[in-house]
Amino acid sequence: MEADFVIVGAGSAGCAMAYRLSGAGASVLVIEHGGTDAGPFIQMPAALSYPMNMSRYDWGYLSEPEPHLNNRRLVCPRGKVIGGSSSINGMVYVRGHAMDFDTWSEMGADGWAYADVLPYFKRMETWHDGGHGGDASWRGTDGPLHVTRGPRTNPLFKAFVDAGKQAGYEVTGDYNGEKQEGFGPMEQTVWKGRRWSAANAYLKPALKRENCDILRGLAARVVMDAGRATGVEIIRGGKAEVIRARREVIIAASSINSPKLLMLSGIGPAAHLAEHGIAVVADRPGVGANLQDHLELYIQQAAIQPVTLYKYWNLLGKAAIGAQWLFTKTGLGASNQFESAAFIRSQPGVPYPDIQYHFLPIAVRYDGQAAAEGHGFQAHVGPMRSPSRGAVTLRSDRPEDAPVIRFNYMSHEKDWADFRTCIRLTREIFGQDAFKPYAGKEIQPGAAVQSDEELNAFIAEHAESAYHPCGSCRMGRASDRNAVVDGQGRVIGVEGLRVADSSIFPQITNGNLNAPSIMVGEKMSDHILGRDPLPRANDIPWINPRWEASQR
């Protein structure tokens, strides 16, 4: 078994690379441990809480007990299925803010400023505005990834945006266009009523070509020969076999599994590898370090009118939605229900948004548990740029064992101040006139929770991961000891090996990570093929002219 390129991981970036590399005539083998994405749990957008809690589709990772969050172990779902996490995520589509990528460039990721990446965001998408306005000139028209907007028929979606406006915030018609800051419609990777995962967009078309194939197996280690990656050892049916790469091995196994695979292959912090008896191929202390994520809270409000989705939160309601979706791919089942959003700044002096809102017209947990007491609505809110950093390390030298995941959440005082600000700003938004016809009492945290100490206790008990882990194989210059890959994704100190997924982000981006992860796969494809990058864009993004003096 051999190919020009062996890609480990059929996730967001891996699928994009399989499509682009095979489209250029190279032979590609994709190694994926998970199985098929067929079936309504994955393909029906409104069923999103199911696949991320099914061991069939999810690696089932847990963090170590988090010392600042009452020693809770937080779930860290990662897709173990065709399409990777794009097959089990919330389908929210956010490119990230222009200044996120300019920061990457300043941190040593040469060639990854906003002007460099915007052309790839355009190349990868076909954008449908759904009649809700937007910035067509900033968007793509013929890429494999369809990006749509929900119908926004529920009156609460409009109330949320109107309340933001009443509170003095900006409104934006397209947070993925010129202006991220403000309240407006949310975008989703849904097309014709189906989840439009990286598997549907990229991998399935690629697999129709003679020169692209997929293998089911667990990647155990990268095979090295005199400092060069020559293949991947996989385990399938209990046996080890080697898949040879004629040109390069590309790891796209997630911010959790990519550093794990590098370390199992002898690339990582030398002392840590020695603890597990692994021979050192390249001493790279940055492998597994710099782990970042977004945390969020659900601020829940009771509704005094029966306009929320709670009326469907029963067996009959769910069955009716499911049946309509199965037969027509329409109705409530055809949306992830995240149809209004906001990006705001926490205080004056912050140049671009550092708080994100997902608005949902039901009060429920992300894992589908416990619809709150009857009708309600909620905002998922959290800070975008926490200073806290964690690490992924090996539990053992056995590929079957889950790695040790320590996010070190809330380890800075700034995290706590930022989260208290999030709660107070959300309460102010829910208190605006636009919500007067709908808003009852506050369900969570509850009106009695007001002081810093009370809010801190609530945060420690209720903060949840937004499932945006990244950063654990950071991109930087070859001279940077802590960088793992260079600006072309090449693992520093090794030949013939690249990493291309969310693990290479130097810093977490604003919003959900699926769009930038796919963009990494798109852009890396050109580097791998030795092509000139797409010409840089000269679009100038909107930055609030009052940012130094004003919070809104």
- The CA-based angle 378-384-389, given to 5 degrees, is 125
Q: Do the annotations mark residue 81 as ligand-binding? A: yes
Quick check: 378 and 301 in contact, CB under 8 A?
yes
> Which amino acid would we find at residue 541?
P
Name the burial class of residue 490, with classes exposed (0-12), middle (13-18) and buried (19+) by CB atoms within 10 angstroms of its CB: buried
Tell me which of 294, 358, 380, 468 is the catalytic residue: 468
Strands 28-32 and 212-216: parallel
Name the burial class of residue 216, with classes exposed (0-12), middle (13-18) and buried (19+) by CB atoms within 10 angstroms of its CB: middle
Q: Is 468 a catalytic residue?
A: yes
Residue 471 tokens, joined: 């950063």
Q: Do the annotations mark residue 92 as ligand-binding? A: yes
Cα 9 to chain centroid, rounded: 16
Q: Going along 327-414, which residue ranges are E strands?
A: 340-344, 355-360, 376-383, 391-393, 404-406
Cα 101 to chain centroid, rounded: 15
Q: Do the annotations mark residue 90 as ligand-binding? A: yes
Quick check: 173 and 165 in contact, CB under 8 A?
no
List, as one string, the DSSP characters of 12-43. HHHHHHHHHHHHTT--EEEEESSB---SHHHH
Residue 226 tokens, joined: 């005199």
- The CA-based angle 111-341-294, given to 5 degrees, is 60
Which candidate, 111, 129, 225, 123, places its Cα nearest to that of 173? 129
Quick check: 253 and 265 in contact, CB under 8 A?
no
Residue 466 tokens, joined: 């937004």
User: Can you say which residues are annotated as belonging to the binding site?
Assistant: 81, 89-92
Residues annotated as catalytic are 468
User: Can you say which residues are annotated as belonging to the binding site for FAD?
Assistant: 81, 89-92
